[in-house]
Amino acid sequence: MATLTMTSTDVDAFDTEPTSSSRILSTSPPLTPPLSKAGDITLNMVIHQNPFSITLDAWAMLAGSVLLVVGMHFMQTSMLKAIIVAVPVALLIRNDYLNFLLLGPGGTPPTFVGYLRLLWFRMFALRDVYHSPPATEPNIAPSRGILGSNNKQELPYRPGPRPLVAGLAPQRQLDQQASTECYAKLRAAVEALTRAHPETLCTATSCIEKHGFGLFARHPVNVWGQGEIFHIHDSEKSMHMSLHPDDIKEVLDKGWGQRHPLAFKGWVKAPLPTTFVMIYAPRDESDLAIIARIVEAAIWYTMAEKVDLNIPQVEPGML
């Protein structure tokens, strides 16, 4: 038995086109059901991507050889070459499409048409998502970020290697997922923040991801995605948000996240703003404390208002 294996998974990271809007969010979107109820179950999905492989037994190899010899004698050379190339290409596309479906629900419809649309954007995607922060626009507001040494809030380096990230839309973290306790604490902190600032903040299902818990600004300065500040992915608890370019540089340098490849700038209109980033899921209490500061930076960029996100202690009803 002979096995041919080729990797077809994109591990650079991609995501979905949002339903962007230029409207100021003046009323609260429909609120998501509260998580912190006794009996609720929070699960982390194990997401995997399959390599492209073809397994041929003796009979399949014999049949392929016979067909190849017959084609060489009775088919035009150009036609035979086209068939030889087309078969593995078709199998490769099929495998890539199945991997797209394995990433779970997201903003892009899980159809072949949706997959083809993502293939188009993939041609223009950012290639370096770890070391190239976006340029700061001249008239950007707020004028600077709140993370980094200039503001005496420099982030520590994230311990360990970066997690493996895959997908165009949706974009998902394949390993190093958050614990149930970390997710419960983060969500409880965000919900408490909206109760403390009901006039400026609210929670709802993400309008960008169309799934998952999201935080919204009612009167954003930087309006995108109906004022969405950030959202958490249900499956593995990584996050997407927009940050000031200064803060993006700090996040990239310290290893807490990466730019979204569809946040490019060029002659093709990108589905995401250049400030859109993925923040890795918090693995423990130390990570969670840093993630809270990054979420504060996302609120600052969206609203130009500084707030403190306080992580609570876990109560029995949160889990």
In the chain, where are the structural domains located? 11-47+117-318, 52-102
Q: How confident is the model at residue 8 (pLDDT cuts 50, 70, 90)?
A: very low
Report pLDDT for 47: 63
What's the pLDDT tens digit per position in 134-172? 998 888 889 899 997 666 678 999 999 999 998 877 889
Alpha helices in 103-222 (DSSP H): 112-122, 180-196
Q: How confident is the model at residue 107 (pLDDT cuts 50, 70, 90)?
A: confident
pTM metric for this prediction: 0.75
Report pLDDT for 315: 62
Report pLDDT for 243: 95
Q: How confident is the model at residue 18 (pLDDT cuts 50, 70, 90)?
A: very low
Helix 180-196 / helix 285-303 crossing angle, nearest 10 deg: 30
Q: How confident is the model at residue 93 (pLDDT cuts 50, 70, 90)?
A: confident
Beta bridge pairs of residue 230: 215, 241
Report pLDDT for 263: 92
Residue whose entry in the numeric block shows the structure tokens 């970390």: 182
Sheet with strand 239-242: strands edge to edge:
201-205, 213-217, 228-232, 239-242, 276-279, 257-259
The amino acid at 66: V
Report pLDDT for 273: 92
Report pLDDT for 140: 87
Asked whether the predicted pLDDT for residue 67 surpasses 60, the reply is yes
Q: How many other C-beta atoms can be found within 10 angstroms of the C-beta atom of residue 175?
A: 14
Report pLDDT for 95: 85
Report pLDDT for 86: 86
Residue whose entry in the numeric block shows the structure tokens 């010899």: 69
Q: Which helix (H) or strand (E) holds 203?
A: strand 201-205
- The rounded mean pLDDT for the chain is 81
Q: How confident is the model at residue 314 (pLDDT cuts 50, 70, 90)?
A: low
CB 217 within 8 A of CB 295: no
Beta bridge pairs of residue 258: 278
Asked whether the predicted pLDDT for residue 33 surpasses 60, the reply is no
Report pLDDT for 37: 42
As a whole-number percent, the residues of the chain with pLDDT over 70 amount to: 80
How do beta strands 239-242 and 276-279 pair? antiparallel
The amino acid at 49: Q
Q: How confident is the model at residue 192 (pLDDT cuts 50, 70, 90)?
A: very high
Q: How many other C-beta atoms can be found within 10 angstroms of the C-beta atom of residue 304?
A: 15
